[in-house]
Amino acid sequence: MIRISERGKEITLSPIRKLAPLAEAAQRKGVHVHFLNIGQPDIPTPEIALNAVKNADLKVLEYSHSAGNLSFRTKLVEYYSKFSIGLSTEDIIITSGGSEAILIGFLVCLNPGDEVLVPEPFYANYISFAKAASASIKTIPTKIEDNFALPPISTFENYISDKTKAIMLCNPGNPTGKIYSRDELEQLKNLVKKHDMFLFADEVYREFCYDQAIPFSVMQLEGVEDNVILIDSISKRYSMCGARIGTLISRNKSVIETALKFAQARLSPPTYGQIAGEAALDVKQEYFDSVKNEYIKRRDILCEALSKMKGVVFSKPSGAFYIMAKLPVDSADKFCKWLLTDFRHNGETVMLAPGNGFYSTPGMGEQEVRMAYVLNQTALSKAMVCLEIALEQYPGKTL
């Protein structure tokens, strides 16, 4: 009997998408579902990017350079310079979304059996990318009650073994909305330098920092240029998730040279996505200011509503557009399913992402959910009404 690989068996379903069949079934029955499970912004994509695709005068839809169009990489160098990040075009490889950047980065830097340290909870797909590279994720717990603060560096030391090859951060964080400070990153810099590890940073939410928070990139760290690998994407920044354009960036020439081999094996990143991404770099700062202000209003709607719900614990995010909340329920997984199969309020319900999917430690996140505030303010308010009533009616409530 033909069997699939053990690697394939180990990769789990996305906690963000696994309940989609239940949501689709509810919609077929005429139920309006408020989708807070997935980070798909409803912010309009900048017209300058859409028009660049519409007006592209291509006679042949040909391959680009495997590292991506030089004109795009040149403009990216200019973009990063605004954040005091000095790069050359040779430091950048354009990928098919940030996801491919992570996968290629892991394939380049990790051997079978190697481990990557990741603060928990974390973006669930990191596990799949690590397993695809025959490596594994080793988690360092953080707590919602502590606003998901990083533990002391001495705690990181306790988790390092001869298998530890890298540390992975998402900053600002998905699913927590946590922003790591310059001081925290400087401490991690010393750690990766001491143990000769790689430091991966997923910074796709860089433009979304709130309450006067200023993002500090790992690419701004000095003395670890060969250790640092930056993962980035246009998906969230310009509301262009479907363009599938990301970047893998490093000043380590061996990393880039090896990554280019994988990039050549998949031939090239999407042509139209690159055209859109390059044009989007001309978007004015006013766009980001407007979008950020909108997300702050949406965040505050959720935080105000959650603060009034009995038994709910949450960490107010300082970046990205996600909130992790601990609910007074027996099982967030069961609750999220029940919302889609049994609960209705005025013909509406809400879809959330069960929190346990963002943890790998057994038993963690069982009462938590992740909510993405990517809907308009009116829809978010209605979704919060649904959630409050649902918590009162849920058969497995613990209060």
Residues 154 and 67 in one domain: yes
First to last CA, the chain: 50
For 259-316, what is each residue's pLDDT tens digit? 999 999 999 999 999 999 999 999 999 999 999 999 999 999 999 999 999 999 999 9
Q: Are residues 357 and 377 in the same domain?
A: yes
Query: Is 364 part of a structural domain of the chain?
Result: yes
Q: Give the confidence band of 135 by pLDDT, cuts at 50, 70, 90.
A: very high
Residue 389 and residue 248 in one domain:
no
Q: What is the DSSP letter of 146?
A: G
Show the tokens assigned to 160: 């390092």
Q: Which of 237, 260, 280 is the last residue of a domain?
A: 280
User: Does 12 share its domain with 80?
Assistant: no
Same domain for 313 and 267? no
Identify the CATH number of the domain in which residue 239 sits: 3.40.640.10
Total of domains in the chain: 2
Domain encompassing residue 373: 6-44+286-393
C-alpha 309/C-alpha 323 separation (Å) is 15
Domain match, 27 and 165 both = no
Domain termination residue (choose one: 241, 264, 280): 280
With respect to residue 114, please indicate whether it lies within any of the assigned structural domains. yes
* 139 and 68 in a common domain: yes
Comparing CA positions, the residue from 320, 78, 65, 310 lying closest to residue 179 is 320
Same domain, 224 and 173: yes
Separation CA 204–CA 220 (nearest Å)? 16
Per-residue confidence (pLDDT) for residue 18, from 0 to 100:
83
168 and 308 housed in the same domain: no
pLDDT (average), residues 60-82: 97
Q: Are residues 204 and 244 in the same domain?
A: yes
Contacts of 29 (CB under 8 A, 6+ apart): none
User: What is the rounded average pLDDT of the residues 219-241?
Assistant: 97
Does residue 15 have a cis bond before it (omega within 30 degrees)? no
| Greatest pairwise CA separation for the chain in angstroms | 64
Cβ atoms 223, 191 nearer than 8 A: no
Q: Do residue 234 and residue 163 come from a single domain?
A: yes
CB–CB of 326/313 below 8 Å?
Answer: yes
Residue 86 lies in a domain: yes
Q: Residue 9: pLDDT above 90?
A: no
Question: Taking Cα atoms as reference points, which of 240, 282, 284, 276 lies closest to residue 69?
Answer: 276
| In-domain check, residue 1 | no
**Do 72 and 171 fall into the same domain?**
yes
Q: Please indicate, yes or no, if residue 49 is contained in any of the structural domains.
A: no
CATH assignment at residue 29: 3.90.1150.10
Q: Confidence class of residue 214 from pLDDT cuts 50, 70 and 90?
A: confident
Any domain includes 108: yes
Neighbouring CB atoms inside 10 A of 39's CB total 22
Answer yes or no: is pLDDT of 16 > 80: no
163 falls within a domain: yes
Any domain includes 399: no
> Domain boundary at 249, 264, 280, which?
280
Q: Which long-range contacts (CB under 8 A, 24 or more apart) does 76-84 make?
A: 76/247, 76/281, 78/281, 79/281, 80/219, 80/249, 83/206, 83/215, 83/217, 83/220, 84/220
Residue 345 is classified by DSSP as B
Residue count (the chain): 399
